[in-house]
Amino acid sequence: MEFQPLGDPLPHIPDDVTVPQFLFDTPHEVRPKRDVKTPWLIQDETGKMLYEDELRYRTHGLANALATKYHIKENDVVLLFSRNHIDYPVAIWATHRLGAVISGANPDFTSSELLYQLEATKASIIVVHPDALSIALSAAQQAGLSKDRVVIFDTPGIPRDVYDSHETVGRLMEFGLRNKTVYKERRLSPGEGRTKLAFLSFSSGTTGRPKAVAIPHFALIANVIQIAVHNKVHQDYCPVEDRRYRPGDVAIGVLPLYHIYGLVINLHYILFCGMSLVVIPKFNFVEMLKSIVRHRISHLFLVPPQVVLICKHPSVKDYDPRKYVRMIMCGAAPLSHELNQQLFEMFPDAHIGQAYGMTETCTATTMWPIEKKRGMSGSSGILLPGCVARVVKTDGTLAGYEEPGELVIKTPSVALGYANNAQATTETFIDGWVRTGDEVKVRKDGEVIVLDRLKEIMKVKGFQVAPAELEGCLLDHPDVSNACVVGVPDDYSGEVPLAFVVLTQNAANKVKDDPAAGDAVKKSIMKHVAVNKIHYKHLAGGVEFLSVIPTSPSGKLLRRVLREEAKKLRPSKPQAKL
């Protein structure tokens, strides 16, 4: 059967505007009225506030400078390689004003990981946080991108030589504002928003190296409206003090804005709701507690490791965020029943729940019901307006209520596919439906329960990690002849990678009778991955030697066999009752 949403119908979604035109210039029936005295963005460390008019000016100034100095034009790609910054959204909107495309990269990437994204997107300019400048310059050089096309965000304490030798976003804005406008803002024809590319956001999909998910302007706009309708932000559905989202509320912006959860929900949806966003460059838990108190933050958007800290970190008692926090959403990975219960006890009056989504669906497809202050433990919520779901059993038939199977979903916020990867696109995007790779069941009350991950992707601290990517890296190590990577449970990260490795004959002979040599080889293998991959892809689960990797008759890795072996080697600890 097909599962339909239970809530309000979806209103008109404009398909002839870009993301910044939607945010700045387009009235909508479900958009609450913003108080002009409410800032849009707040810089965490300084308290600097940016209001609508200033954001318009900054967006125009940067767009004009990008067009004038760098000749950014239709469909060019601007790559943002930065921690959260108060001008990060401005860079997005300025790029879109020109009809160009944004690709956000993790600022903790190694040079080789950034080079991969540069080459995959054919980016023509990099905007980088000074902290990541050396990595950006190295990758740019290898990609054939000149040094003058690496622009830095203005941050306090930039060394004078760095400031003098690189163009900055702030100087570009000033240049663009004082000079004649040379660009014509990109306007869309009716329906064009459904296909006009806005973002190339990277996701591991189901296998292999990260893939560029092609997201049109319409997808982000649709998801913002879906979430707004679901949460009744435009309705007086209950006393104002109990409403989940209210104009003037203050949200934390600690989720990375290059990640789809941070980009769509934490940034654009919050601004659509008439709220303020406190932009925090880098997550530090104690500093986050200080920010909650300093800015009286009411809304937290988190991932499970951050929830673990809220429940267990001793510093929580020193700041008591309960005075201010009235909503906590957790996404990117499932939250355990124990953590849910602890949150409920710690914040007895707050709205608390989970949501489910993918980069391929431009974020959320389910969310806990607005009628319930507390989401049901173990549930990802109910379908958002406009979403339709199927649960496909292993025999290909459709499941009914309470029957497990793969979640396949249709939503107006669907991406266009994977850029330059027709095979992966046809495997995941099928006639308007998206295969999620997650096993779920749907209860009769509409709650969607995620049971297991059918695809091979691991979720480490909420980030996708493809085993095949790590296996490719391992095979570059001189002592490794074959490898298979699986995830093992971890209290903090959810799961972490464990590598099963077959050594070359020379390495195997060396370690056969010498445990110390074996330990040295394991450390060398782990270091090799650490040097070449971002921190959450490191082999925190360790390395185990095998004489042979089990495979099917066709040569496919039998990963499930090694998952079972991993359970014996790294048994799960019983979850403490929090």
- For residue 24, the model assigns a pLDDT of 97
- For residue 575, the model assigns a pLDDT of 37
C-alpha gyration radius of the chain:
24
Query: Closest Cα partner for 355 from 330, 391, 327?
Result: 330
DSSP single-letter state for residue 431: T
For tokens 């599962």, the residue is: 3
- The dihedral over CA atoms of 249, 253, 254, 256, expressed in degrees to the nearest 10, equals 150
Burial class (CB in 10 A: 0-12, 13-18, 19+), 352: buried
Selecting from 3.40.109.10, 3.40.50.720, 3.90.380.10, 3.40.50.980, what CATH number does the domain 52-187 have?
A: 3.40.50.980
For tokens 């025999």, the residue is: 395
For tokens 């570059």, the residue is: 476
Phi first, then psi, for residue 522 (nearest 5°) are -60, -45
For tokens 């219960």, the residue is: 341
What's the CA gap between 557 and 501, in Å, rounded? 12
DSSP single-letter state for residue 16: S
Could you tell me where in the chain the CATH 3.30.300.30 domains are found? 458-569
- For residue 340, the model assigns a pLDDT of 85
The DSSP-derived string for 455-481 is SS-EEETTEEE-HHHHHHHHTTSTTEE
Pairing mode, if any, of strands 77-81 and 101-105? Answer: parallel
Which residues lie below 8 Å from residue 290, measured CB to CB, with a gap of 6+?
319
3-state secondary structure of 80: strand
Secondary structure E strands in 443-545: 448-453, 458-460, 463-465, 480-490, 494-503, 543-545
What's the CA gap between 153 and 170, in Å, rounded? 7
Which residues lie below 8 Å from residue 428, measured CB to CB, with a gap of 6+?
205, 206, 360, 417, 418, 434, 435
- For residue 151, the model assigns a pLDDT of 98
Q: Please check whether the domain covering 2-17+196-453 is classified as CATH 3.30.70.860.
A: no
What's the CA gap between 272 and 164, in Å, rounded? 37
What's the CA gap between 149 and 69, in Å, rounded? 10
Burial class (CB in 10 A: 0-12, 13-18, 19+), 255: buried
The DSSP-derived string for 264-312 is IIIIIIHHHTT-EEEE-SS--HHHHHHHHHHHT--EEEE-HHHHHHHHH
Query: Closest Cα partner for 450 from 346, 372, 395, 375?
Result: 375
Nearest-5° Cα angle at 116, 415 to 542: 100
Could you tell me where in the chain the CATH 3.40.50.12780 domains are found? 2-17+196-453
What's the CA gap between 303 and 493, in Å, rounded? 10
DSSP single-letter state for residue 411: -
For tokens 């000033």, the residue is: 174
Could you tell me where in the chain the CATH 3.40.50.980 domains are found? 52-187
Q: Which residues pair with 433 in a beta bridge?
A: 430
Written as tens digits, the pLDDT of the chain (578 aa) is: 999 988 889 999 999 999 999 999 999 999 999 999 999 999 999 999 999 999 999 999 999 999 999 999 999 999 999 999 999 999 999 999 999 999 999 999 999 999 999 999 999 999 999 999 999 999 999 999 999 999 999 998 888 888 888 999 999 999 999 999 999 999 999 999 999 999 999 986 555 678 999 999 999 999 999 999 999 999 999 999 999 999 999 999 999 999 999 999 999 999 999 999 999 999 999 999 999 999 999 999 998 888 888 988 889 999 989 999 999 999 877 777 777 888 999 999 999 999 999 999 999 999 999 999 998 888 999 999 999 999 999 999 999 999 999 999 999 999 999 999 999 999 999 999 999 988 999 999 999 998 877 777 788 887 888 887 898 889 889 999 888 899 988 878 888 999 999 999 889 998 887 888 999 999 999 999 999 999 999 999 999 999 888 875 545 567 778 888 888 888 764 333 22
* Alpha-carbon distances, residue 434 vs 26, 392, 466 (angstroms): 29, 12, 19
Contact 544/569 with Cβ under 8 angstroms? Answer: yes
Contact 257/267 with Cβ under 8 angstroms? Answer: yes
Query: What length is written for the chain?
Result: 578
Counting other chains too, the contacts that 389-395 makes at CB distance below 8 Å and 24 or more residues apart are 389/2, 389/3, 389/365, 389/442, 389/448, 390/1, 390/2, 390/3, 390/433, 391/3, 391/440, 391/441, 391/442
Give the up-direction half-sphere exposure of residue 399: CA atoms within 13 A in the CB hemisphere.
Answer: 22
- Prediction pTM value: 0.87
Class of domain 458-569: alpha beta
